[in-house]
Structures are given as structure tokens and as C-alpha cells.
Structure 1
Amino acid sequence: MMPSIRPLLAALLCAVSVGTAAAAAPKVLRIAFNTPVTALDPAKISDLYSRTVTPHIFEGLYEYDHLARPFKIKPLTADGLPETSADFREWTIRVKPGIFFADDPAFKGQKRELVAADYVYSLKRIMDPANKSPLGSVLQDIGIVGLNALRDEAVAKKAPFDYDREIPGLRAPDRYTLKITLEQPRPRLLQTLAGGDVFGAVAREVIEFYGDEIITHPVGTGPFVLKSWRRGSQIVLERNPGYRERFYEAEPAPDDAEGQAILADLKGKRIPIVDRVEVAIIAEEQPRWLSFLQGDLDISAIPSVAIPQAIPNGKLAPNLEKQGIRHYRSLNADGVYLYFNMDDKTVGSTEPAQVALRRALSLSLDVPKLINRLYRGQGIPAQSLFIPHCTGYDPAFKSEMGDHDPARAKALLDLYGFLDRDGDGFRERPDGSPLKVELATQPDQFSRQMDEAMQKDFAAVGIRLTHYYGQWSEQLKAAYAGKLQMWLLGGSAASPDGLDTLQSYYSEQIGSGGNFARFRNAEMDQIYRQVAAMPDGPEREALFLRAKLIGVALMPYKSLLHRMANSLAYKHLIGFRRPLFWNEWWHLVDIRRDESS
């Protein structure tokens, strides 16, 4: 009697079925934000978290090479680098044919090709007063011929912005050609055009189809589409099924071992490599950290409280290493700074006594202690407002901005008449009135620790510090309006150009978010205008140095530190490298869970 082969066939079929299912299982990247996304419309966002999602849906003309250090810009939707005039005022850019927007009901069943006119429209939207775009001041400063006038006319007449009027500085003479003409030379306009997060192309018919709901209906040409968005809870992106054929390529430096290894592993893979991205919104550090340790996230920043346990002495803890976890550490392109409102009667103005007060406050802050205790050693003292990895930043530059010297602070205060006249341990102003400074702050644990440390440092030189509490968003509105006396902020570079830092000192940026200190100085304004028009080189760096010296001497800002980024990721996340000035990387990593420990 012959044995039945049915059980064997069934087992083989089952094995084939399981193997096929495993091979077809989607690759899912799981990450977390600590703050909800506010909108997914490039023209209406400024927060980091929204700007991290949008460049995965929308595409700019250019992008940063993800592995190149120092930075390198390459075409994304553009067909080659721009053609420019000798004075960098005339820019001609070709848009690559055959790129399409993701399918959407707004297109009524038709494939919609990306054309040059989409970039004309997208830039005009930023200048439309009705959109109240945070990027409006950036475009105003760039000075596209005719664009500011078009905006001013809409404001003056209280009329709708005229999108159909052709202006000399922003034209699409044919389907794939974009021409930009500027009022002044702008040698680094290419860096602006590399920002797909806010300068990515949108289609006019999509904007008009969704109207006020456009912030929740992003439609771009990028590698992902929005699958779902539960406000304050979760965002899910999925692979754009109509995304063009695009393959992983990069140009890391020859001596960049990490970058070369990533390139060798991922070169030639179709983008996006993962099928789905799930972004959880987890506001508190501890739950977010526990979610990572439980394997619910693929990558996470290390909370400051967990740094001693996670990376003792700067090295990954053995128990985490055994779980297949890797440590990524780098110096951020960012800074933490305190601004003084120069319009405030207590800490403002450039009168010698007021300058002495701000310098004394700066000298009283024990920044090394703050770095060690609050940031768990993950930072370096700042010597100026300029940011690492950007032009204008010099790691060898040393200034009073980086000093902690209570004795010198007391001597300055004594010299300019800030004395303790009533013996209560706190100083009065030169006219005998009480001296009390006020710091705007937030009611979270980290802010409370910072508040206490600053209060103690100020008290050590005889200055009483009080606090003004409010939610971060409300404090930001008050800062724009010039209503806060002092506030501590963190800022990240959006481009490699130190000109962005100089905006903090430029008088025309008062009220727009660039110049929180409301600082006015004729020489600094002139430096800003000169630097904006100059090509990179020694002369430009010399002007940056002069700006740093003015900033230190008059002290409208006290820059405290530049932070180190510490991230942990499971080894099944392949190809991660922390970006410098850009936010997009989700489409450039792989998930291989079969290789994890």
C-alpha cells in the first residue's frame, strides 16, 4: 500500500504560502514625535514636526545629498543645476518632464504632470496675505522682482491675491522652464530651493478643490502619501504607488567609512525603500522612551534623564547593545539662546548701563553646569549665536559669550551703579528703583529645572529673577508681539548659510520671528545686506566675524550651548544618518527585521 502524499503536499503548500506572506509583509518604519503636527500645507507651517512630514509628500526643485559631509545639493525635480547670471540675479531652472502628482479626486481621474508653473504658484501662495505664511518674510527678503509689490497691492486694496498676473521676477515661459529674477544678488538661492518641506510644489487645482481643508489633504509628487491622520495621536504615510522610478544614490566623502558602508548597502534600491511610516505622538519623555525599549519604535532620541543609563561615559550600555540597539551621536546644527527684548525698559536699549546689565546676566550663567546637569553633558558651550556646520561658525572662536565669571559680572554691575542699597541681597537700579528681571517660561519639568538654575545664578550676583508662565504657543505669540522681556529658545539651522543667524540681528526681521530681541543697529543691518549679496569666501567670513563681535559687545542675545544629538535605533533599521539642515530621510532607510537580534 502506497503512503499518501497529500499531507506532504499540504505541508509544502503551507510553507510556500507562509514564505510568500513573509516576503510580502510591508516594511514599516515606526517613530515618535513629542509634539503634534499642526498642518500639512507647506505654505502654512513653521514648526519642526510639520516640516519633517511635508518633505516626504512634497518635493522641491533640489535636495541635499543625504550622505555628503560637507553638504552637497543635487537636483530632485529639476533637470540639472540652475543657469545663473554672473551677478546671481537671473536664475533659469528646468523642471524634469515625466514627474506626476499622486492620484487625487482633485484631478478628476487624470494623471497630473508637475510643470514649472506649479513652482510659480507655490511661491506665490507663500506671499498671499490670506495664507499668513511664516515663510513670507523669507521670500520678501530674497526679493523676487514684482512679488513684494503684488503682495503689497493685495494688502492695500484688501483684495484677493492675483495669482494670474504675471510678474517679471517669477515666470514659466514654457511647460518645463522656471525663470526667477531677483532685485539683489542672491548667490545662495539654491539652498532655499532645496527646501521641499516649505518650498515643495503644490497643484493649484488641489488647493482650490479642498479650500480651507487643504492642511489635512496634502497632495504632492513625493515618495509617500498621507494614509491617515488622527490629530494629536498618529500620522501614517504609505508608499506613493505612482512614484517615479528613482533609486538610492549618494556621494559620501571617500574617507567617510559610515557613509560609504550605507551607500554600499543601499545603492540602487528603489525609493522609497520602506512601504509605510507610522508616527506616534507621545508628548512625555518617559512613555516615549519606554515605547522604544519595548520595541514599539524603531528609533528614538535618548531622554536627558536616561542618558547616564543608556550611554554611560558616552558608550552604549551593554544591556542595550545585546538587544541589537545602535547609538548615533552628532553635534547638532542648532543653538539654545536667551534673548533680551531691546524695547523693554528694564533690560533693553544700548545705553552703557543697560549693556552692562545684559553682559552681567550673561556672565552670571554657569553654562558648563547647565550642560552637565540638565543636558547630561550632551552639549558644548556657545561662543556666539552662529550655528555649527554653517558658514560664520568657527570652532576656534572664543568670546565673553562663553564665559562664566560672577566676579566680573559683579564688577560691571558695581561700576554702572546697580547696587544693593537696602541690604536685602538684591541690587537696585542706578536711580534707586527695584531691579527685577522676568523670564518667560513653560510649566514642564525641564523648563522648571532650567528656571531654578538661572534664578540661582542671577541671585549669586544680586539680581532677582521672576517668571512669567504660559504654554509655548502662547509665549511664541507674545514674543512676536514684543511683549516678553526675556525668553529661552532653541533653534535649528534650516540651511547651511550663516545669513539665517544674522536675521536675528536684522532690524527688518522685527516682528516676523527672525529678530525676537527687536535689535536695531545700523552697522549690523549693513553687514546683513552685504553678506546676503556676497559669494562665499574670506571677505564674507570677515563680515561674519565682525557681526559676532557686535553681538557679543551689545548682547541682545545670550547664546548658551549647541546640543549633541543622541539617538538609539534597533539594528533592523538600516541606513540611518542624522540630517544636518534637512528633515527628510524616511524614504532613504530600510527595515530588515529578519536580521535583528
Structure 2
Amino acid sequence: MTAQGRTESLRRRANEAFRPAAYDDLHLQAPEMLDDRIGRSRRTPMLVRSAVIALLALTVAPLAPQSVAADWADPSKVLRIAFPTDVSGFDPAGTQETYATVVEGRIFDALYQWDYLARPFKFVPSIATGMPEISADGRIWMIRIRQDIYFADDPAFGGKKRELVAADFVYAWKRIVDPRVRSPNSDLLEHKIVGLDAAVEKAKSSGRFDYDAEVQGLRAADRYTLRLELSQPDYTFLEILDNTALRAVAREVIEKYADASGRAMRNPVGTGPYRLKEWQAGHRIVLEPNPGYRDERFPPAPVNADSGVKAVADSMKGKRLPQIGRIDIAIIEETNPRLLMFNAGQLDMLDLPGDVAPKMIDDKGTLLPEYTAKGMRLERATELAVTFAYFNMEDPVVGGYSPEKVALRRAICSAYNLPDEIRVIRNDQALKATQPLPPDVEGHVPGYKGLSPYDPTTARALLDKFGYRDRDGDGFRELPDGKPLTIHQLSLVGAVYRQYDDLWLKSMREVGIRMDFQVMTFPEAFKAAHAGQLQLSSFGWNGDVADDFMRLFYGPYAGAGNISRFKNAEYDALYEKSHRTPDTRERNKLYEAMTKIVSAQAPWCTNVYRISNTVVAPQIRGYRKNVHYFLTPWEYLDIDTTARAARRQ
């Protein structure tokens, strides 16, 4: 599918939205006074990519929370899956790791989401009643939310049902920029909303963010209407509204459970289909259905659906969401134990890492016969993600913009044996990344060569030319001033990462660069990256649209999404212009120019676009791979308990 095809619906909706609103927004009434329990403020964070529940095709009459129906969330149906890493917690304002946001996506509702079944992909309302109403100048946005949405019951609400209101989004979004919270997702809103930056500066001066003070560009126009005033027209803003970070939280919950940093990482309370039942850090995460979840049904197949989509829709026709009564997530860092558990029937789905792919699929990307004979099926796609090694641009050794610093970074990228990573470690379950934007994201430049390919000869020549030479004959180069040169690379816990370490070590030795490793858990590494404490580190990033990736190099976002802390005035100007540019083709030209700057300055070594292989056991119903969801939303799945019993025999 082409990039233009996959985003056609979104662009059409966004462009249609920038029309004169059917009201005179200069004469809007002041927000109604909300009851003091909820009439205060809002919060939220992030990116990897996630989204939530409910589809545009559903027509649901407003309902108050009701008793659990007999056809809903069968407690005997337990979905067993595994994560390769633990999470730091479940506060949307405090997290950005992929697996944390996957769980948060089941607990907290999005305003908008990617339609689960539609192909080409469609961006549709979730708990919003429709697309935003936008003023003629593109700056005033009115987003109306549904009136049948309730938070899961929690002691923070004093035994009362707690309805979701527009003020909850105001509070959640303010939390993202609260200096005390130090959200890694603050770049989603910084410099975009009238009055919000001033509120942040005031909080920095006073030491406290005033959640009760009105922000001109972020307020509740009434109980169910969110009113936004953007600093300037932004033709990419719609695309971030599915972000996990921008989901509503209740102020009462945060004030009851927040730690010293203002984060409530262990007590997520949302309006989504599931709630957190148990979290044993490093071992297990358990979700259970939210008893107050509204009546949502599995969506019908789109008119243009292929036979596969129709079969999925038919198998789930009319079913209330969610069907599964428990999500049991084991934290298993090593890949082989996950494979063994799947083979033993102890896991229902397996996202197959490249290092064990040959044990289940052949070189044509087809599931091996011994698995198809058991009714297993494979769904495969190139992820909307890129892996990369980033340099800390503020580091005295690898950072900076002088020619010798750029040469060092480019040499390291050229010296790294990426072909061996793809062929040996990933077993060809990846494509070489030439640019930050993955192939199916609009703005990707087909045929672009990117940074120099693997070429240790060129790397050595670059190092020689700019004064990185072996002066003492020990086989390793020194800095141009004669001081020792050692590159400190992050490594993560897990056997597969030892393979990457060995490959990096061998690659650097071939060009005379000494390297050592700092070993951390993923949550530790995530925290260190945002604090600017790593010199060279490899990560992956999931997104949906171009801005999800291009904002990672925007100077004002340094330390938030921009973990490389890259700053380039020309890039920043192009990035800002991309937000003001309504024409897709013109915006893509800007993305190409930005990509060339990144390639020239090399704050990243772009590594691979991963191929996702998901093996699904025969008892799973409702599964359809959608690349806009890193993991399939579990509320759309069901389990055939008879088929599960047969598999275990």
C-alpha cells in the first residue's frame, strides 16, 4: 500500500475540518461552572503509537453504567501473552515506552483512533462525537465528547459514579507540560496552544503549576466540549489526538495516588475496556474488564473489505466488547523461553523476534508446516517504526556540529555492520532504514540513499582525515587533541542484546574505535536517555504519521521527544513550516529537506525498519493485524475455549 493511499482518508478529513465553523467563535459563552469535584484541570503524554476502543461505524445510544451482561467479558477466557521488557508504570503523562502505552491504551480512551478493520486506514472518532469543528482561520478547535463515558470505579471517587467531562482533558493536557511532572511527552503540546507556554513559565517561577487558572487556548466550553485555541494553524495537529499521552485522567485519582513527581504510575484509572488488576514489577501485568465500560460492539466489515476482513467480522458479529475476561501478561526478556511457552500452549499469541524467526517461518516468510497443521496462522507487515542509534549531541566527544564531530558520527554509522544485523541477528526480518520515515508513512522518499552504507574503508578514511588517529600504536584511535577516544554504548538486559554488543564491538574494532557498554534495564535506559545521560544508544520508535518521527529532531523538544538533543535552525524552520502547510505534496517536500539535514549532520544512525511477524493460536478470534497498533487492541479479540482445550491436549 502506498503512503498516499494509507493516509488519504486522514488528509481528507483534516482538510475538510479546516473550514469555517458553523458558529461565531468570537462570541462563545464562558464555560459553565462544573461541580468542584471535577471542575479543575487535566494532563497526559507520548508516542511508539497506540490508540483505543470504539469505532465510528458503531452507533451507540448513551447509557449509564449497568450490570455486567451475560455475553460480556467471560472470566473463563484468559488471554496469555508476553512482553520482552518491563514497564515503568501506567501514567500517560509519565510514560513513553511502547509496552507501557500498549497497556495504557486499553485503560484510557482516545478522542480519535485508527479504525480497526478499514483498509485503506481511516482515522475516526473514538469518544469524540465527530471530527473537530475548526474555525475559518484554522486556530479554534471545538471537540465534542460523548455523554455515556464513565471512569472505572475507584475509592478516589468516594463511592460515586464519575462521568468523563471535557474538563478532564484540560487537566490531563496541563499535566503534560507541568514542570514538576517532567513528562517525556511535553513536546506534543509545547508552543502549540495559546497561553500554555506562559502557564509553564509561571509554574517554573513559582514552583507550582496552577491547575485552576484558566488557559486561554485550553478550556472546557461546556461540560462535553473541549475548546482549543492554537497559536497558529497546524495541519498536523489532528494526527496526534490518538496519542496515549493525550487521554483524559481524573484529577481526584492523580491527587490521591501521585508520588513526589506528580505521577500516579501504579494506579491508572481510565474509561477504557480494561483496568489494572495486578502489576508485579518485572514479572507480571494483569488486566480485568472495566465493569462500567459502555456498550460497544465489534464493528461490521467495511463495504470494500477483503475476504479475510469479512471472515474476522463474521466471527465476531454483534459481540459486545470486550469478550475476554482477563489479560495475563508475563514479563519474559529472553526470546527462546517465549517461543517454548507458545509451543507448549502457555501463550496465545507470539510476536516473533527476528533471532528466532527461522524456528517458525521459512525464508519466504511463510509459517512452517508443523504450525499450519495445528491451525496456527501468521500475520506479517512492515512496522510503522524505525530503529536507530542516536548520539547525544551535547556530549563533548560525539556531540557538536564542527566538521570533525560530524565526521566522527558519520564514520561510526558507516563502520557499523548493518548488513550483518539484518542477516544474522534479525534473520532478514528487517529492511535497511535509509531515513527516519518508514516506507508506508507519508513523506517517506522512495529511493533515498540516506547516510553512507556500511563501508569501513570510507569510515577509516574519514577518521584519518579529521585527525582521529592511532598515535600510540595500541590499535585504537585517539581524539584529534591526542586524548583517548572511547565510545560508551548503552546495552539492555537480555541475551539478544549481547549479540548486538558483539556486532558493535567488532564493527568499531575494525576501524580502530574503542567501545564499552553500560548495561541497563529498559526503564532505566528510558529515564537516562531523557536525562541526557547516554552517549550512544540504540532504540526503536513507533509512529503513525510523519510528524511522529520528524518531531524527534526539533530543537525546542530537546530532552523530550528529541532525545538526541539535536538543534539545527534550518531544520527547526522547516519543521515549523510543515505544520503551517496544508498541501500534502508541499509538506512532503519539506520532510525531504528535513531528512537531508538529518543525514548530513548524523545525530542518528538509522538502522532498520522491522518486519513484524505475529503467530496467532487457533483459539483466537477477531484478530486482524493493523500496523497503527503496535499490538492488537485486546478488546477486539475473543477466545474459543473449545479450541483452546483441544490445543492443550
Q: What's the TM-score, normalizing by structure 1?
A: 0.88
Q: Which residue of 1 aligns with 2:296?
A: 246
Q: Specify which of 229, 242, 253 is matched with residue 194 of structure 1.
A: 242
Q: Which residue of 2 aligns with 1:155?
A: 204
Secondary structure of residue in 2 paired with 1:53 = helix
Q: Which residue of 2 aligns with 1:297?
A: 347
Q: Are 1:206 and 2:249 an aligned pair?
A: no
Q: Specify which of 349, 371, 381 is matched with residue 422 of structure 2.
A: 371
In the TM superposition, 1:117-516 aligns within 5 A as 117-141=167-191, 143-159=192-208, 161-195=209-243, 197-212=244-259, 214-249=264-299, 254=304, 256-313=306-363, 314-401=365-452, 403-421=453-471, 423-493=473-543, 496-512=544-560, 514-516=561-563
Following the alignment from structure 1 to structure 2, what is the Cα–Cα distance between the partners of residues 559 and 507? 19
Asked if 2 retains the 8 angstrom alpha-carbon contact of 1:69 and 1:253, the reply is no
Q: Which residue of 1 aligns with 2:25?
A: none
Larger Rg: 1
Instruction: Give 1:359 deviation, angstroms.
Output: 2.0
Following the alignment from structure 2 to structure 1, what is the Cα–Cα distance between the partners of residues 199 and 306? 47
Identical aligned residues as a percent: 41
Which has the higher mean CA deviation after the structures are superposed, 530-539 or 471-480?
471-480
Q: Are 1:528 and 2:528 an aligned pair?
A: no
Asked if 2 retains the 8 angstrom alpha-carbon contact of 1:330 and 1:566, the reply is yes
Asked if 1 retains the 8 angstrom alpha-carbon contact of 2:88 and 2:523, the reply is no
Secondary structure of residue in 2 paired with 1:338 = strand
What CA deviation, in whole Å up to 9, does each residue of 1:4-39 have, x standing for no partner? xxxxxxxxxxxxxxxx99x97632222122223332
Q: Specify which of 567, 570, 574 is matched with residue 614 of structure 2.
A: 567
Instruction: Give 1:443 deviation, angstroms.
Output: 5.0
Q: Which residue of 1 aligns with 2:34?
A: none
Q: Specify which of 8, 30, 47 is matched with residue 80 of structure 2.
A: 30
Count of residue correspondences:
570
Secondary structure of residue in 2 paired with 1:538 = helix
Secondary structure of residue in 2 paired with 1:236 = strand
Q: Which residue of 2 aligns with 1:13?
A: none
What CA deviation, in whole Å up to 9, does each residue of 1:81-101 have, x standing for no partner? 110123431100111122222
For the aligned residue pairs, the C-alpha RMSD in angstroms reads 2.7
Instruction: Give 1:335 deviation, angstroms.
Output: 1.4
Provide closer, same or farther for how the CA distance between residues 483 and 215 of structure 1 changes in structure 2, counting only shifts above 3 A: closer
Q: For residue 275 of structure 2, what is the amino acid of its counterpart?
A: V
Which has the higher mean CA deviation after the structures are superposed, 245-254 or 312-321?
245-254
Following the alignment from structure 1 to structure 2, what is the Cα–Cα distance between the partners of residues 536 and 370? 38
Which has the higher mean CA deviation after the structures are superposed, 471-480 or 551-560?
471-480
Instruction: Give 1:511 deviation, angstroms.
Output: 2.2
Q: Which residue of 1 aligns with 2:89?
A: 39
Q: For residue 329 of structure 2, what is the amino acid of its counterpart?
A: V
Asked if 2 retains the 8 angstrom alpha-carbon contact of 1:65 and 1:251, the reply is no
Following the alignment from structure 1 to structure 2, what is the Cα–Cα distance between the partners of residues 38 and 429? 37
Which has the higher mean CA deviation after the structures are superposed, 101-110 or 568-577?
101-110
Provide closer, same or farther for how the CA distance between residues 431 and 85 of structure 1 changes in structure 2, counting only shifts above 3 A: same
Asked if 1 retains the 8 angstrom alpha-carbon contact of 2:85 and 2:522, the reply is no
Following the alignment from structure 2 to structure 1, what is the Cα–Cα distance between the partners of residues 314 and 623? 13
Asked if 2 retains the 8 angstrom alpha-carbon contact of 1:339 and 1:487, the reply is yes
Which structure 2 segments of 5+ residues have no match?
Answer: 1-69
Following the alignment from structure 2 to structure 1, what is the Cα–Cα distance between the partners of residues 125 and 614? 29
Following the alignment from structure 1 to structure 2, what is the Cα–Cα distance between the partners of residues 307 and 226? 32
Q: For residue 346 of structure 2, what is the amino acid of its counterpart?
A: D
Which has the higher mean CA deviation after the structures are superposed, 209-218 or 326-335?
209-218
Instruction: Give 1:429 deviation, angstroms.
Output: 4.3
Instruction: Give 1:373 deviation, angstroms.
Output: 0.7
Following the alignment from structure 1 to structure 2, what is the Cα–Cα distance between the partners of residues 519 and 410? 25
Provide closer, same or farther for how the CA distance between residues 544 and 471 of structure 1 changes in structure 2, counting only shifts above 3 A: same
Q: Specify which of 75, 100, 104 is matched with residue 54 of structure 1.
A: 104
Instruction: Give 1:163 deviation, angstroms.
Output: 2.0
Secondary structure of residue in 2 paired with 1:489 = strand
Following the alignment from structure 1 to structure 2, what is the Cα–Cα distance between the partners of residues 474 and 248? 38
Following the alignment from structure 1 to structure 2, what is the Cα–Cα distance between the partners of residues 373 and 456? 14
Asked if 1 retains the 8 angstrom alpha-carbon contact of 2:429 and 2:610, the reply is yes
Q: Which residue of 1 aligns with 2:60?
A: none
Following the alignment from structure 1 to structure 2, what is the Cα–Cα distance between the partners of residues 517 and 265? 46
Asked if 1 retains the 8 angstrom alpha-carbon contact of 2:75 and 2:326, the reply is no
Following the alignment from structure 2 to structure 1, what is the Cα–Cα distance between the partners of residues 636 and 230? 34
Q: For residue 638 of structure 2, what is the amino acid of its counterpart?
A: D
Following the alignment from structure 1 to structure 2, what is the Cα–Cα distance between the partners of residues 383 and 216? 39
Following the alignment from structure 2 to structure 1, what is the Cα–Cα distance between the partners of residues 461 and 86? 46
Following the alignment from structure 2 to structure 1, what is the Cα–Cα distance between the partners of residues 172 and 435? 35
Q: What's the TM-score, normalizing by structure 2?
A: 0.81
Q: For residue 292 of structure 1, what is the amino acid of its counterpart?
A: F
Q: Are 1:92 and 2:139 an aligned pair?
A: no
Asked if 1 retains the 8 angstrom alpha-carbon contact of 2:553 and 2:567, the reply is yes
Provide closer, same or farther for how the CA distance between residues 397 and 518 of structure 1 changes in structure 2, counting only shifts above 3 A: same
Which structure's residues are more often helix, by fraction? 1
Following the alignment from structure 1 to structure 2, what is the Cα–Cα distance between the partners of residues 25 and 337? 41
Following the alignment from structure 1 to structure 2, what is the Cα–Cα distance between the partners of residues 563 and 454? 19
Instruction: Give 1:491 deviation, angstroms.
Output: 1.8
